[in-house]
């Protein structure tokens, strides 16, 4: 199994400039959620998460339409490598959304998640 976090830390190089399509925060979140839905996954929003072990598997910045392809690649790798249940947890903290799944390894629940900076 490959570790996504070593392969996916993407920061966009061009946020300003001609031809860059700026998306608002709600549009960015909607695009991210639609990627998961297209893969047949169900999004849940727990009120709290209390899992003893957690692993950040990848992080990315998604501000413009040009960032979408890298975001899709990271999400696809995360789903392929980590997701064992059709349920994906989503939570937000300020300008970041987190999407994760719980895996049980040797009888211990582990939270594996990705972080997507979507701005304000």
Note the pTM of the prediction, 2 decimals.
Answer: 0.81
Task: Supply angle C-alpha 48, 54, 57, rounded to 5.
Answer: 115
Kindly state whether residue 17 falls inside one of the protein's structural domains. no
Residue 4's pLDDT band, with cuts at 50, 70 and 90, is very low
Is pLDDT above 80 for 16?
no
Q: Domain range for residue 39?
A: 4-12+22-117
Cα distance between residue 80 and residue 77, in whole Å: 5
Q: How many domains does the chain have?
A: 1
Kindly state whether residue 68 falls inside one of the protein's structural domains. yes
Greatest extent of the chain over all pairs of C-alpha atoms, in Å = 52
Kindly state whether residue 106 falls inside one of the protein's structural domains. yes
Kindly state whether residue 75 falls inside one of the protein's structural domains. yes
For all residues of the chain together, what is the average pLDDT? 85
- pLDDT tens for residues 56-84? 999 999 998 889 999 999 999 999 999 98
């Amino acid at each position: 199994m490959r570790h996504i976090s070593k392969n996916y830390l993407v920061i966009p190089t061009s946020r300003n400039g001609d031809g860059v399509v700026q998306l608002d925060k709600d549009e960015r979140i909607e695009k991210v959620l639609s990627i998961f839905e297209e893969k047949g996954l169900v999004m849940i929003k727990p009120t709290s998460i209390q899992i003893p072990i957690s692993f950040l598997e990848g992080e990315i910045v998604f501000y413009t339409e040009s960032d979408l392809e890298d975001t899709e690649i990271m999400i696809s790798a995360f789903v392929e490598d980590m997701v064992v249940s059709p349920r994906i947890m989503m939570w937000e903290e300020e300008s970041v959304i987190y999407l994760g799944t719980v895996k049980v390894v040797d009888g211990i629940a582990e939270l594996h998640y990705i972080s997507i900076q979507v701005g304000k």
